[in-house]
Amino acid sequence: MISVAARLAGAHPRTLRIYESFGLITPARTEGNTRVYSENDIIAVRKIRYLTRKRGVNLAGIKIILEMEKRLGISIIEDNNY
């Protein structure tokens, strides 16, 4: 449920929808089309918020960073930073 995920990630539900629309996160969906966020989705939201707020990276830049991480199989940003 988006409200629970938003609370866990420290974000507003609308923020999660924006991140989804940019392709930064892809929550699973139930048969009723309700978003279901995994622990990895919550971690991704925290990372995105860290990059936007603390590092000044825009969403297009974050998309590139996340794609590079996926391709290389590494985390560019240390997990303990966010």
Q: If pLDDT is split at 50, 70 and 90, which confidence band does 67 have?
A: very high
**3-class secondary-structure state, position 28:** strand
- What integer pLDDT is reported at residue 77 of this predicted model? 74
Report the candidate in 25, 13, 23, 82 with the shortest Cα–Cα distance to residue 54.
82
- What integer pLDDT is reported at residue 48 of this predicted model? 96
Report the alpha-carbon distance of residue 54 to residue 12 in Å, rounded.
Answer: 18
Is the backbone of residue 64 left (phi > 0), alpha (psi -120 to 50) or beta? alpha
Domains of the chain: 2-81 (1.10.1660.10)
Instruction: Compute how many other C-beta atoms are within 10 angstroms of the C-beta atom of residue 47.
Output: 22
pTM of structure: 0.86
32-46 confidence digits (pLDDT tens): 999 999 999 999 999
Report the alpha-carbon distance of residue 47 to residue 25 in Å, rounded.
Answer: 11
- What integer pLDDT is reported at residue 81 of this predicted model? 64
